[in-house]
Structure 1
Amino acid sequence: MSMEPDEILMDAEERMQKAVEVFKDALQGLRTGRATPGLVDTVRVNYHGSPTPLKQLANISCPEPQQIVIRPFDQSIVTEIVKAIQASDAGMAPNSDGRLVRINVPALSTERRRELTQRVGNFAEDARVSIRNIRRDANKSLDQSEKEKIISEDILKSTKDDVQELTKKFENQINDQAKQKEEEVMNE
């Protein structure tokens, strides 16, 4: 099934934007030595038998640069929250006083900083590969449309140029985000 060039471009742009969002979410979960609510965003708590995102069960704040405070809406799930954080791969040790959960975020070692920088690079490369795959799909659709005489060769070329511009735009966003996160990791 062939699509019009505008539809192909819009679809590619939406998919590329989604790839950037997934990348940003992945970066959000990386611990940089500074406490942020994003560090516990991926934690799921067993609440009435079903895994529920922590942010739906509690207020999460960072009163100090090295501390996360979690105030559950329902006090009875404090122990479940502690268990969920301990079971997550975030590498954090929660403390509970029965009403709220505190997590002290220790400063990062030089080795851990290098590790995190490498993970940022890996996340960025995965995102760039996704963007390029989307470009390939869009170009394939354009070729198909030209083959079926839906678009002319001139429109094919100009639309492929537009797809390449989109690719550059989103790759630059990924590169900028990665660079910013790497600096944050190394300088915290």
Structure 2
Amino acid sequence: MITDVLAEAKDKMSKAVEVAKDDFGSVRTGRANPALFQKVLVDYYGSPTPLGQLASLQNPEARTLIVTPYDKTALKEIEKALVNVPNLSANVGNDGEMVRVTLPELTQDRRKEFVKIVRGKGEEAKVALRNIRRSAKDGLDALKSDTGEDELSRAEKELEAITKVHVDAIDEALKRKEIELLEV
């Protein structure tokens, strides 16, 4: 029972770390990266659909991304969704066949702003880890009557160690992203 609670907590924490890394990838650096736009939701026939399902994304140049829709009728909606992406301030143009997104050069102030955004995302990920830890601790406490104090104490220490490993993984990913953002 204790091993089940710990295994579930470890699995959920690993997923939370992966989500955090994906979120970090969605914050742009000096290059146009198709991952920036994968989660952009486009109103496609009344339902929000991820851009990656509606179009192919290519970046022929460092600061340019070309979005070619599979369905040309979605072109206007794709363009509108890209214009409304927060924290992007990109130049979006539609030539009737595809949408060209040109990202502006990042200033030092803008880079620092992106670092703040990434730190906020990192803190959100750590809160998610703490919530998973709390849930697992409640699960362990529910097993108190079935197990001994020593086993429960060891399990709680193991839970803390698992949490620390995952928090360290988020911190490391955050540090790498900050270096990447501040690199000119």
Q: TM-score range by the shorter chain?
A: over 0.9
Structure 2 distance, partners of 1:129, 1:50, is 30
Describe the SS at the equivalent of 1:157.
helix
1:42-101 Cα offsets, whole Å, 9 max, x none, are 222222222211111111111222111111112222222111111221332211211111
Calculate percent identity across the aligned residue pairs.
37
Unaligned 5+ residue runs, structure 1? none
1:100 aligns with 2:98: yes
Query: Could you list the runs of 4 or more consecutive aligned residues of structure 1 that deviate by over 3 angstroms after TM superposition?
Result: none
2:142 & 2:27 partners in 1: Cα distance?
41
**Which of 145, 165, 171 lines up with 2:167 in the alignment?**
171
Query: CA separation in 2, counterparts of 1:51 and 1:127?
Result: 25
2:116 alignment partner, one of 118, 134, 139: 118
Structure 1 residue corresponding to 2:69, chosen from 60, 67, 72: 72
TM-score by length of 2: 0.92
Are residue 39 (structure 1) and residue 32 (structure 2) matched? no
- Consecutive unaligned residues in structure 2, runs of 5 or more: none
- Choose which of 43, 55, 58 in structure 2 pairs with 1:61: 58
Give the TM-score normalised by the residue count of structure 1. 0.91
- The change in CA–CA distance for 1:144 and 1:46 in structure 2 (over 3 A counts) is closer
Over aligned residue pairs, what C-alpha RMSD do you find? 1.4
User: Which whole-Å CA distance do the structure 1 matches of 2:103 and 2:85 have between them?
Assistant: 15
Deviations 1:122-180 (A, max 9, x none): 1111211221222222222212212x2x1111211221121111111101110111001
Number of equivalences: 183
Shift of 1:10: 1.3
Q: Deviation digits for residues 23-47 of structure 1, max 9, x if unmatched?
A: 1222122121211011112222222
Q: 1:19 aligns with which of 16, 21, 28?
A: 16
CA distance in 1, matches of 2:151, 2:114: 44
- CA–CA distance in structure 1, aligned partners of residues 69 and 15 of structure 2: 31
Name the residue aligned to 1:187: 183
State the partner residue of 2:137.
Answer: 139
